[in-house]
Structure 1
C-alpha cells in the first residue's frame, strides 16, 4: 500500500495593517476542505517574528517529514494568488512583531543569496490559469524581504527546495476566504503532481 503523503501548510499571524491575516484564515478554510484522503495535511500559524521562524520551521520539517511545505502569506499589493519562485537570504531590515530584526540582516550567514523551489512555478501558474479555477494566478521572484521571504528561504534551505510560497490578497480584495482556500487546494495538488512527474523523469534518465 502506498504511504500517505504529508503536506504542511502555514499561514501568518496578524501584523501591521493586517488585523486579520488573510493567509491564516485561508489556511484554516483549507484545513476544512482537506487535500483528499491520501494526503495528511498539517497546518500551523507562523508568528511574524524572525526568531520564532528559526525555531518553528526546523521542528515542523523534522517532526512531520513532509514531502512538501507550502507557506502562505498576505500581500496588501497582491490582486492575484501569487506563486513565489525563490527565497532571498539578505536584506532584512524591517522590524518584526517583537520589534526585532536580525543583526546580520540575513537568514543564514554564509548561505546562498537565493534558493529556488524545485517546482517550476511558471508551469503551475499556466496550468491553473487554464483550468477554469476562476481565480487569477501569477508568479513572482521577489517575496518582499520580510517575514514571508525569510520564512520561504529558511524552508527552502531546510527542505532542499521542496517548498513553495503563495501570496494571497487581503480578504475580499477580490476573493473570499473560501475562494482562497479552493485556490490553495488547487495550487497544492498541482505542486504535488509536478513533483511526482519530475521524480519520474529523473528515474527514466537513470534507467537508460
Structure 2
C-alpha cells in the first residue's frame, strides 16, 4: 500500500416525514467524532431526501474526493438491527420525495442494469462485526426499499462499479442510541476497508505470479 491516506466518504440523510431527526445523520456525526483512525481521511455529508439532489450530489462526491469507498447510511422505521444492504435496484421509484417529486422514468439510470451488487461481501462484514461483540445487532438485506436510500445506493454503485455500501439504521432509541449507532458504523466501515485491502492484495499477488 502507498503511504497516502485513504479517503472514505460517509453520507446520512436529512429529515423527512415523521423522521424530524434522521437517525442516519445522527449516526454519521457520531462516526465523524470517533473517526476511522489516522490512516483514513473521513468526509461526511448530509443528503437531502430529494431525487434530483442525489443525482447531482453523488457524482460530485466521487469526482471531488476519488474515495476508496463511499458508505451511505439511511434510516428505516421498520429496522430493529443495523442492516447491511447487498445491492441497489434501478426500477420502481414511485414514492414522492421532500419536494413532492419522483422520477418520470421511475428508475435511477435509464438503461442501467436492474440490480447492482456491492463488491463488498456484506455477509462477511456482518459475521465479523457480530463476532467482535459490539452489542449492536447487525443483519444483511437484499432490498433497500425503493425510496431515496435505494436510489442513492444504486446511483453510487453504478458510478463506482460496486465500490459503495449502504447501511440502514433503526430510529434513535429503537433500541440504540446515536452513540451506539456511531460505534457500529465505525466497526462496519473498518471491516469493509479491511476486506477491500485483502481483495487488493489478492489482485496484487496474482499480478506478480
Q: TM-score, normalization: structure 1?
A: 0.98
Residues 141-195 of structure 1, C-alpha deviations (whole Å, 9 max, x = no match)? 0000000000000001111111000000000000000000000000000000000
Distance 2:27 2:122 in 1: 20
Q: Tell me the CA shift for residue 29 of structure 1.
A: 1.1
Aligned to 2:126: 125
Q: 2:124 and 2:31 mapped to 1: Cα distance?
A: 22
Tell which deviates more after alignment, 68-77 or 24-33. Answer: 24-33
Tell me the SS of whatever aligns to 2:165.
Answer: strand
- The structural deviation recorded for 1:201 is 1.3
Deviation at 1:81, TM superposition (A): 0.4
Answering whether residue 100 of structure 2 is matched by residue 102 of structure 1, we say no
SS at match of 2:72: strand
Aligned length: 208
Separation (CA, whole Å) in 1 of partners of 2:162 and 2:120 = 8
Match in the other structure for 2:82: 81
What are the ranges of 5 or more consecutive residues in structure 1 without an aligned counterpart?
none
Cα distance in structure 2, aligned partners of 1:186 and 1:103: 38
Could you tell me how far 1:199 is from its partner in structure 2?
A: 1.2
Larger displacement relative to structure 2 (1-10 or 181-190): 1-10
Give the match for residue 4 of structure 1: 5
- Offset of 1:207 from its aligned partner? 2.6
**Take 2:205 and 2:55, find their aligned partners in 1: how far apart are those partners?**
37
* Deviation >3 Å, runs of 4+: none
Within 2, Cα distance between the matches of 1:159 and 1:94?
A: 25
The Cα of 1:198 is off from its aligned counterpart by 0.9
- 1:35 aligned partner: 36
State the Cα distance separating 1:37 from its structure 2 match. 1.1
SS of the residue corresponding to residue 162 of structure 2 reads: coil
Unaligned runs of 5+ in 2: none
TM-score of the two chains, using structure 2 as the length reference: 0.98
CA deviation string 1:90-123 (max 9, x = no partner): 0000000000000000000000000110000000
1:200 is displaced (CA, Å) by: 1.1
Offset of residue 205 of structure 1 = 2.4
Partner of 1:142 in structure 2?
A: 143
